[in-house]
Amino acid sequence: MGQLIVLALVLPLVTGALTMAQSGQQAIRWINLAGGSLTSLALLTIVYHVATEGVVNAGSLYVDQLTAVVLIVVALLTFTAALFSQSYMEQEVVQGHISLKQLKRYYGLFNLFVFTMICVLVTENMGMIWVAVEATTLSSALLVAFYFDRAALEAAWKYVMVCTVGICLALLGTILLYYAQVNASIGQIQALSWLALKSVSQRLDPGMIKLAFVFILIGYGTKAGLAPMHTWLPDAHSQAPSPVSGLLSGALLSCALYAIVRTFIIAKSALGVAFPEQLLIGFGLLSIVIAVPFILVQHDLKRLLAYSSIEHMGLITLGFGLGTPLAVYGALLHIVNHAVTKSALFYLTGAIIKQYGTKHMMRIRGLVSAAPMVGCMFVAAVLAIAGLPPFSVFYSKFTIVWAAFHSGSPWLGAAVLLLMAGVFAGMIYYTLKIAFGPAPSRVSTGYRPGVPALVAVSASMVLMIGTGLYLPPWFDTLIDQAVVIVTGGGL
């Protein structure tokens, strides 16, 4: 299985290199789709092996059940984003928005971005996790700046500046983690090994670990879009090509949260549950609070979805902070559900922007009449992300809120419910405005997003409905095992 992990790391690099070497558009697109499909297949095979056979520990490569949950996200979104890109980027070339040279650069960076996210998840060493998270910033910043216009360059600059500050704080926290390990006389053996840190966590200096956790939470929390370090996120998500926006929102934010949770597990064992859990609850609740007014007064469609991502990252963080098995189960399930649903919404937004030629919601009207299939899918996806049954997001949201009440914090559960009602009102209000009524006369009804794009969105919608009604036993067991890891179970 170690060889398969190596293959999953090599495939995106080979795919990116091959697409960069091609001179024909068709060859570039099909090579990318084939490479993305093989990468996803390799990742899902690893996940299934971990779910059924147990942990894979191959030296510096390590995949346990917690890793596998986030690997599912990267696998699914790599495939759907590659598929959606087929139609989306072809139309960008046909409409003259990008050249063949830019198309090759897009697919090269796309695969480099996928490679860095897989690196974050499969490495066992906290130092290497930091290196991989930093690499995701460098590769994705070039995708945010892809169109090289003023708005894209400003968004990329802001993204790099804010996340660089965050990643520096995470580096400081990682150094403190290493210092605590050295003081415990195990630093020379397996420096920053997560397994080694976890096994001796009760011997680590509590003061040092407390400081390290604060720096790492703020540092990786910046990358995860937690408030008040979220300021880069709406700009970056709104300026990137729509398939990349889906990857940023669904996969990258989840990878950053994964790094936090790995540290959280060590901190809980070294400090006890109170301090790290209270911090997570605080950042999670603040993120939801910050997102609500920006959703209610939003005018830009992609920024609306970006602030929704901040809300959902806050909810997941709060779930981990509650710390009960039920809450952690809901948080892990919500990572997958949010990623699938939000990426589909960003894909659909890309099609809507192409049809209307604007991201300004006041100028988007009558979507269902202008583009019935895209319009119906968009309405369904918004209902899903807002938390309506029978969609999967409802199930995971309900689990987290129920866990808040069940853990003896009814005021917290009530506050989250109230804030979610505000988000729901904002999302539904703008969706009704966009979807119904007469379409503007300037809007062409002849636009077609393309079969690959519709297949990518349809696959996501099947998942968001299907997993809301039924969870495969192996997937449910996988999450249960991941819960045991997060809540302090054995290695």
Which is it for the CA torsion 395, 400, 403, 405, positive or negative? negative
Q: How far apart (Å, rounded) are the C-alpha atoms in residues 188 and 182?
A: 7
What is the gyration radius of the CA atoms in the chain, in angstroms? 21
Q: How far apart (Å, rounded) are the C-alpha atoms in residues 197 and 176?
A: 12
β-bridge partners, 193: 125
Residue pair 102/142 in contact by the 8 Å Cβ criterion: no
Query: What does pLDDT average to in each consecutive run of 10 residues of the chain (491 residues)?
Result: 89 93 88 94 94 88 94 95 92 87 93 95 93 92 90 91 92 93 71 88 89 95 91 90 92 94 93 92 95 92 93 95 94 95 93 88 87 91 91 93 89 93 93 86 74 92 90 92 83 41
Three-class SS state of 470: coil
Q: What angle do CA 51, 53, 54 make, to 5 degrees?
A: 70
Continuous segment of H or E residues that includes residue 238: helix 232-239
Phi, psi of 444 (to 5 degrees): -75, 135
Residue pair 92/84 in contact by the 8 Å Cβ criterion: no
HSE, CB side, 13 Å, CA atoms: give it for residue 267. Answer: 32
Could you tell me the pTM of the whole model?
0.94
Residue pair 80/234 in contact by the 8 Å Cβ criterion: no
Per-residue tokens: 236: 């970056």
CA 61 remoteness from chain centre:
22
Three-class SS state of 62: strand
Longest CA–CA separation in the chain, Å: 73
Omega prior to 228 cis, within 30 of 0: yes
Task: Please give the pLDDT value at position 189.
Answer: 65
Omega prior to 241 cis, within 30 of 0: no
Task: Please give the pLDDT value at position 69.
Answer: 95
